[in-house]
C-alpha cells in the first residue's frame, strides 16, 4: 500500500465541526499528516483544489440482497454502487433470503466483504428468527460473528413482549437496534400515504399512525429498558415530535431519514408510478418541513439511504403488486445537497457529520468518521460545484428502480478512498 | 441458647440470625451423624408427616421423606398434579380434607407464592415450605448455608455470586436473604431478562457481565435453567446461554484457591456449568444433597419438639 497525498483541498473536520484548508498525507491506510504545504515525492498526489475532503461517508441503511436475491443486487454490485456514491462503509439490512439471523450468515458476509475488497460492509443481524417476529436470535453469538446492529428492517416486530425482552436482553451485549416502524395491522395492504392523492388514485393507504403509534410504543420501551434504539427512515411530522420528547426524557434514541422522503411527496406517484412506491410511503409537504426542522435542530442526527434495489420486473405492471423501495445509493449525496444544503437547512460540515461522524459512533467505529492523524484513511472527496444529470441506466447498482432519472444535481463525490486505497476516481470505479 | 418460637417454617425471611445459626448448628450435628450406620433414631417416633407436593419433585420430596424416616417418623406422600386440582374452593376443600387426617407436620410445595402462609392460617399442622412459586424455599437456603459453613467459610468475609434465572428463582431469594442475614455480600448476574427490577431489595447487587460477578465472588452459585424459559423467550438458545452465562472453567478466588461451585440441582450439564466441573474438586453440588438431608432433619426435629408457639 503506497502513499497518497491529497493537496489543496478544504478539509472537513467532523469532530470539531469546522473546515480548514490543508494537505493530507496517507500512509499504509492511516492518515499520517495534516498540514499546509505538504510534499512527498513518493506519494501519489490528488489535487483537491476547490473540493471538500472529509471522512468517508457511512451509510446506515442499504439492502445488498445477498444471499438469495442476487438478481436485485449482490455484495459486489452493491459495493460498487457505494463506492460510486462516495460511501466507504455501509450497514446491510438483514432481510435477505435466508435472513441474516445466524452467526454463520454474518460470518459469510464478513468473508465476502474481504473477498470483494471495496467498501467496508457491516452487517446488522435479525432481531427475530426468520424475521417473523416470534423468537429472538442469538444476540451474543451474532455479535461475536461480527454483527453490529440488530434489526428486523423490512418488517416491524408487532409482539410487544418480544421487543421488550429483546431490548432488555441486548443491553448485556451493548448492541443497538435499528427499527423499521410500521403497525402491520394498520398498514395492512396499504400502498401509499393517506391523503388526497390516495383518494384520487383509489389506492389503499398506510396512514401516518401506522408509523407513529408503533414508534411511540418503542420509544416507551427504549426509555424503560435503557436500550439504544435508532429509528430508520422517519416519514411523518409527528414522529419528530415523539422523538424529541423522548430525547428530552433521556432515552437513548436517534433517527435517520432518506433523501427521497425529503424531496418527494405522495403526489410523486403520478409522474413516477411505482418508482415512488416505498415504505414508509412518501408523505406530504408538511411532513417534509417537519423532518427538515428536526434535522436542523439535531433531533434527527443521521442521514441514510434505504437503498432498496429491485429487478425491473418487480416494479412493472400493477402498481398494487409492485415491490416497495428505490435504488439511490449512487446519488444519495447530491440528493441530500439538494434537499438540505441548497435550502440552508444544513451547511456542508453538518451534512458531513450526519453521514460519517455520527454513524461511525453508532456502529462503534472510533477509527472512522473523523479526519485526524492516526485515524483510518477512509476518505471521500466532493466537488460542491459539479453538476450532473442523473442517468439511471448508468447505475452500477443492479437496481434501476429510481424516480430521480434525469434530475440535475450538484455536489457529487468524485473520489472514494477506503483504507488508503482509491476505489472511485472522477465518478468512475477504479479498474 | 435460642428459644425457638416458630410453629412453621415458611421462609428464611421470618428467621432471626440466631435462629438460622441454631438450625445450622443442629444441621451440622445431623450431617456428622449421617456418616454413622445404622442411623435410625426414635427422636420423632409416632409423629406423622404428610408430603404435599402440587409441583413435580423427586429430590426434595425424597429428601424430606428420608429425613423424617431417619427421625423415626411415618411419612405419607400426597402428590397432586396441579392440572387435576381446580382453583378456588376445591383447593381449600382438598386441604381441609387433609386437615382431618390428624398428621403432625405438612411439607408443602406449590406453584403459587404464598400458599404455605395461607395453609398455616387454618391447618392444624406444622407447615414446612418446600418451595412456593417464586417466593421462598427455606430448606434449600439452609442446606446451602450448611454446605458453606462446613467448608470453613466465614460468612462475614464472603461474597457469593448467584448466577442465572434470578427472576423465577425462590432459591435465589431465600439464599440471598439468608446470606445477607449472616453478613455475606451477595451479587447476582445472568441474562438481564431474568434479573427482576427491584431485586436490590434483597440487599444484593446486580453485576454485569457474568464473568465480572464470578470474578468478584468466593462462591459461584449457579441456578438451574428451566427449558421452558427459553421457549418463553427470556434467552434465545441453550448454546448462547452456555456460551455467555454458563460456568466453563475453574476460577480462582482472590486468595488463590479454587472457588466453591454450588448448584441446587438437578444440573443441566454443559448449560449452567461445564460437565467436567460438576464433579470437579471444588464442586460442592453432591455435598449439598447430603446437607439437605441433615438440615431437614434439624428443621423437623426443631419444629415438632420445640415449635409450640404460633408464629
**In which band, very low, low, confident or very high, does the pLDDT at B251 lie, cut at 50, 70 and 90?**
confident
Whole-angstrom Cα distance, residue A236 to residue A266? 12
Whole-angstrom Cα distance, residue A236 to residue A208? 6
- In chain B, positions 78-137, which contact chain A (CB-CB < 8 Å)? none
Assembly ipTM: 0.91
Whole-angstrom Cα distance, residue A61 to residue A64? 10
Q: Do B208 and A172 touch (CB under 8 A)?
A: yes
Asked if residue A368 belongs to a domain, the reply is no
Q: What pLDDT, in 10s, does the model give residues B12-43? A: 999 999 999 999 999 999 999 999 988 889 99
Residues B177 and B226 in one domain: yes
In the predicted structure, residue B208 carries a pLDDT above the cut 60:
yes
Per-residue model confidence (pLDDT) at position B311 = 44
Which cell is A260 given? 427521497
In the predicted structure, residue A123 carries a pLDDT above the cut 50:
yes
For residue A209, count CB atoms less than 10 angstroms from its CB and return exposed for 0-12, middle for 13-18, buried for 19 or more. Answer: middle
In the predicted structure, residue B88 carries a pLDDT above the cut 60:
no
Q: What is the CATH number of the domain that holds B82?
A: 3.40.50.1370
A286 touches chain B (CB under 8 A): no
In the predicted structure, residue A176 carries a pLDDT above the cut 80:
yes
Residues A349 and A379 in one domain: no
In this structure, of A129-133, A354-358, B115-119, B140-144, the range with the lowest mean pLDDT score is: B115-119
Q: Which domain holds residue B252?
A: 152-283
**In which band, very low, low, confident or very high, does the pLDDT at A53 lie, cut at 50, 70 and 90?**
very high
- Give me the mean pLDDT over the B44-53 stretch: 95
Mutate which of B166, B211, B236, B241 to test chain A, going by most A C-beta atoms within 10 A?
Answer: B236
Residues A313 and A424 in one domain: no
Q: What is the DSSP string of A326-383?
A: B--GGGHHHHHIIIIITTTSS-HHHHHHHTTHHHHHHHT-TTSS--STTSB--EEEEE
Residues B127 and B159 in one domain: no
Catalytic residue among A306, A314, A376, A383: A306
Mean pLDDT, chain A, rounded, equals 97
Per-residue model confidence (pLDDT) at position A333 = 98
Residues B181 and B254 in one domain: yes
Residues A310 and A412 in one domain: no
Number of domains in chain A: 2
Residues A99 and A147 in one domain: yes
Q: What is the CATH number of the domain that holds A276?
A: 3.20.20.140
- Give me the mean pLDDT over the A103-126 stretch: 97
Radius of gyration of chain A (CA): 21
Residues A253 and A270 in one domain: yes
- In chain B, positions 203-242, which contact chain A (CB-CB < 8 Å)? 208-209, 233-237, 239-240
In the predicted structure, residue B82 carries a pLDDT above the cut 50:
yes
Asked if residue B57 belongs to a domain, the reply is yes
Residues A144 and A177 in one domain: yes
Contact at 8 Å (CB) between A54 and A356? Answer: yes
Q: Do A138 and B192 touch (CB under 8 A)?
A: no
Whole-angstrom Cα distance, residue B18 to residue B9? 15
Q: Which domain holds residue A192?
A: 57-363
- Pick from B192, B209, B243: which is nearest to A169 by CB? B192
The helix (H) or strand (E) run that includes residue B119 is helix B115-120
Whole-angstrom Cα distance, residue B25 to residue B142? 11
Asked if residue A369 belongs to a domain, the reply is no
Mutate which of A141, A169, A221, A224 to test chain B, going by most B C-beta atoms within 10 A?
Answer: A169
- Pick from A135, A168, A171: which is nearest to B236 by CB? A135
Final residue of a structural domain among A311, A342, A363: A363
Residue of A nearest to B238 (CA): A138
Q: Which residue has the cell 480548514?
A: A20
Asked if residue A357 belongs to a domain, the reply is yes
Q: What is the CATH number of the domain that holds A418?
A: 2.30.40.10
Contact at 8 Å (CB) between B54 and B82? Answer: yes
**In which band, very low, low, confident or very high, does the pLDDT at B253 lie, cut at 50, 70 and 90?**
confident
Whole-angstrom Cα distance, residue A215 to residue B276? 48
Residues B199 and B259 in one domain: yes
Per-residue model confidence (pLDDT) at position B55 = 87
- Give me the mean pLDDT over the B104-119 stretch: 94
Residues A104 and A25 in one domain: no
Residues A38 and A145 in one domain: no
Asked if residue B6 belongs to a domain, the reply is no
Contact at 8 Å (CB) between A115 and A143? Answer: no
In the predicted structure, residue A112 carries a pLDDT above the cut 70:
yes
Three-state secondary-structure class, residue B182: coil
10 Å Cβ neighbour count for A272? 18
Among B238, B207, B228, CA closest to A172: B207
In this structure, of A66-80, A388-402, B255-269, the range with the lowest mean pLDDT score is: B255-269
> b or e along A124-134 (b: 16 or more beta carbons within 10 Å of the residue's beta carbon)?
bbbbbbebebe
**Contact partners, residue B163, CB within 8 Å, separation at least 6:** B188, B189, B190, B210, B213, B214, B220, B221, B222, B223, B245, B247, B272
Which residues of chain A lie closer than 8 angstroms to B237, CB-CB? 138
Final residue of a structural domain among A311, A335, A363: A363
Mean pLDDT, chain B, rounded, equals 92
- Pick from B209, B233, B237: which is nearest to A165 by CB? B233
> b or e along A38-49 (b: 16 or more beta carbons within 10 Å of the residue's beta carbon)?
bebeebebbebe
Residues A90 and A223 in one domain: yes
Asked if residue A110 belongs to a domain, the reply is yes
Q: Sign (positive/negative) of CA torsion B44, B50, B55, B56?
A: positive
Q: Could you confirm whether A343 is annotated as catalytic?
A: no
Asked if residue A353 belongs to a domain, the reply is yes
Among B132, B110, B138, CA closest to B302: B138
Which cell is A57 given? 461517508
Asked if residue B146 belongs to a domain, the reply is no
DSSP structure class, residue A70: T
- Give me the mean pLDDT over the A35-64 stretch: 97
Asked if residue A236 belongs to a domain, the reply is yes
Which cell is A353 given? 457529520
Q: How many residues does chain A have?
A: 431
Whole-angstrom Cα distance, residue A79 to residue A120? 8
DSSP structure class, residue B156: G
Partner residues linked to B48 by β-bridges: B74
Residues A107 and A192 in one domain: yes
Per-residue model confidence (pLDDT) at position B103 = 92
Nearest CA distance, B78 vs chain A (angstrom): 38
In this structure, of A216-230, A300-314, B99-113, the range with the lowest mean pLDDT score is: B99-113
The helix (H) or strand (E) run that includes residue A414 is strand A408-418
Asked if residue B311 belongs to a domain, the reply is no
Residues A393 and A280 in one domain: no
**In which band, very low, low, confident or very high, does the pLDDT at B86 lie, cut at 50, 70 and 90?**
low
**Which residue stretches of A237-284 are H helix?**
237-248, 260-263, 269-272
Partner residues linked to A376 by β-bridges: A30
- Give me the mean pLDDT over the A339-353 stretch: 98
Residues B182 and B262 in one domain: yes
Asked if residue B4 belongs to a domain, the reply is no
Three-state secondary-structure class, residue B224: coil
Final residue of a structural domain among A317, A337, A363: A363
In the predicted structure, residue B99 carries a pLDDT above the cut 90:
no
Backbone φ and ψ for A21, nearest 5 degrees, come out as -85, 115
Q: What pLDDT, in 10s, does the model give residues A370-423? A: 999 999 999 999 999 999 999 999 999 999 999 999 999 999 999 999 999 999
Number of domains in chain B: 2
Among A256, A211, A257, A252, CA closest to A229: A252
Backbone φ and ψ for A418, nearest 5 degrees, come out as -120, 125
Asked if residue A359 belongs to a domain, the reply is yes
Asked if residue B230 belongs to a domain, the reply is yes
Residues B247 and B233 in one domain: yes
Residues A34 and A106 in one domain: no
- Give me the mean pLDDT over the B184-210 stretch: 96
Amino acid at each position: 500500500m503506497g502513499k497518497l497525498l491529497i493537496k489543496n483541498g478544504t478539509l472537513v473536520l467532523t469532530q470539531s465541526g469546522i473546515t480548514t484548508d490543508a494537505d493530507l498525507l496517507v500512509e499504509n491506510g492511516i492518515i499520517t499528516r495534516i498540514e499546509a504545504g505538504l510534499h512527498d515525492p513518493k506519494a501519489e498526489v490528488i489535487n483537491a483544489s476547490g473540493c471538500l475532503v472529509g471522512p468517508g461517508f457511512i451509510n446506515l441503511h442499504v439492502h445488498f440482497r445477498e444471499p438469495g436475491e442476487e438478481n436485485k443486487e449482490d455484495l459486489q454490485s452493491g459495493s460498487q454502487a457505494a463506492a460510486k456514491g462516495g460511501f466507504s462503509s455501509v450497514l446491510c439490512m438483514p432481510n435477505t433470503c435466508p435472513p441474516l439471523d445466524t452467526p454463520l450468515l454474518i460470518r459469510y458476509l464478513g468473508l465476502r466483504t474481504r473477498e470483494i475488497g471495496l467498501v467496508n460492509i457491516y452487517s446488522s443481524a435479525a432481531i427475530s428468527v426468520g424475521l417473523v417476529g416470534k423468537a429472538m436470535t442469538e444476540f451474543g453469538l451474532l455479535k461475536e460473528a461480527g454483527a453490529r446492529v440488530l434489526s428486523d428492517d423490512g418488517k416491524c416486530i408487532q409482539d410487544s413482549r418480544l421487543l421488550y425482552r429483546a431490548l432488555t436482553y441486548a443491553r448485556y451485549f451493548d448492541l443497538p437496534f435499528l427499527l423499521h416502524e410500521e403497525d402491520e395491522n394498520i398498514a395492512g395492504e396499504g400502498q401509499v400515504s393517506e391523503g388526497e392523492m390516495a383518494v384520487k388514485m383509489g389506492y389503499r393507504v398506510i396512514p401516518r399512525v401506522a408509523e407513529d403509534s408503533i414508534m411511540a410504543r418503542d420509544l416507551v420501551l427504549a426509555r424503560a429498558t435503557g436500550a439504544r434504539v435508532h429509528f430508520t427512515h422517519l416519514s411523518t411530522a409527528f414522529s419528530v415530535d415523539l422523538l424529541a420528547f423522548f430525547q428530552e426524557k433521556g432515552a437513548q434514541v436517534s433517527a435517520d431519514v432518506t433523501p427521497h422522503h425529503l424531496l418527494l411527496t405522495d403526489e410523486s406517484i403520478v409522474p413516477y408510478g411505482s418508482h415512488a412506491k416505498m415504505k414508509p410511503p412518501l408523505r406530504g409537504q408538511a411532513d417534509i418541513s417537519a423532518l427538515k426542522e428536526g434535522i436542523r435542530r439535531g433531533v434527527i442526527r443521521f442521514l441514510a439511504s434505504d437503498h432498496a434495489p429491485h429487478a425491473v420486473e418487480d416494479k412493472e405492471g400493477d402498481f398494487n403488486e409492485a415491490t416497495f423501495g428505490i435504488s439511490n445509493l449512487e446519488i444519495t449525496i447530491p440528493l441530500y445537497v439538494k434537499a438540505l444544503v441548497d435550502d440552508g437547512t444544513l451547511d456542508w460540515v453538518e451534512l458531513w457529520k450526519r453521514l460519517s461522524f455520527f454513524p461511525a459512533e453508532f456502529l462503534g467505529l472510533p477509527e472512522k468518521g473523523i479526519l485526524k492523524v492516526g485515524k483510518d484513511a477512509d476518505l471521500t472527496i466532493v466537488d460542491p460545484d459539479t453538476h450532473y444529470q442523473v442517468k439511471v441506466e448508468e447505475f452500477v447498482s443492479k437496481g434501476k428502480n429510481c424516480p430521480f432519472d434525469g434530475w440535475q444535481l450538484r455536489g457529487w463525490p468524485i473520489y472514494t478512498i477506503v483504507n488508503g486505497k482509491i476505489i472511485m476516481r472522477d465518478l468512475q470505479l477504479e479498474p | 441458647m435460642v428459644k425457638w418460637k416458630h410453629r412453621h417454617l415458611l421462609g428464611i425471611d421470618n428467621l432471626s440470625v440466631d435462629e438460622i445459626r441454631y438450625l445450622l448448628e443442629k444441621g451440622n450435628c445431623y450431617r456428622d451423624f449421617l456418616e454413622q450406620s445404622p442411623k435410625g433414631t426414635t427422636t420423632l417416633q409416632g409423629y406423622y408427616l404428610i408430603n404435599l407436593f402440587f409441583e413435580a419433585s423427586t429430590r426434595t420430596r425424597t429428601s424430606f421423606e428420608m429425613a423424617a424416616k431417619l427421625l423415626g417418623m411415618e411419612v405419607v406422600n400426597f402428590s397432586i398434579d396441579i392440572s387435576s386440582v381446580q382453583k378456588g374452593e376445591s383447593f381449600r376443600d382438598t386441604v381441609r380434607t387433609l386437615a382431618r387426617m390428624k398428621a403432625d407436620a405438612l411439607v408443602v410445595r406449590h406453584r403459587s407464592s404464598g400458599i404455605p402462609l395461607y395453609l398455616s392460617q387454618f391447618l392444624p399442622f406444622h407447615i414446612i415450605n418446600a418451595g412456593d412459586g417464586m417466593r421462598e424455599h427455606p430448606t434449600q437456603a439452609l442446606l446451602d448455608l450448611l454446605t458453606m459453613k462446613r467448608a470453613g467459610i466465614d460468612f462475614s468475609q464472603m461474597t457469593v455470586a448467584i448466577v442465572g434465572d434470578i427472576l423465577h428463582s425462590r432459591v435465589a431469594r431465600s439464599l440471598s436473604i439468608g446470606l445477607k442475614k449472616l453478613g455475606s455480600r451477595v451479587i447476582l448476574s445472568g441474562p438481564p431478562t431474568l434479573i427482576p427490577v427491584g431485586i436490590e431489595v434483597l440487599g444484593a447487587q446486580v453485576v454485569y457481565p457474568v464473568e465480572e460477578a464470578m470474578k468478584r465472588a468466593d462462591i459461584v452459585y449457579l441456578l438451574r435453567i428451566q427449558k421452558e424459559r427459553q421457549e418463553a423467550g427470556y434467552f434465545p438458545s441453550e448454546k448462547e446461554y452456555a456460551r455467555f452465562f454458563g460456568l466453563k472453567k475453574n476460577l480462582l478466588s482472590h486468595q488463590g484457591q479454587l472457588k466453591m461451585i454450588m448448584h441446587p440441582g438437578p444440573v443441566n450439564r454443559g448449560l449452567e456449568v461445564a460437565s467436567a466441573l460438576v464433579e470437579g474438586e471444588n464442586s460442592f453440588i453432591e455435598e449439598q444433597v447430603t446437607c439437605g438431608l441433615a438440615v431437614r432433619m434439624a428443621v423437623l426435629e426443631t419444629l415438632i419438639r420445640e415449635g409450640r408457639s404460633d408464629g
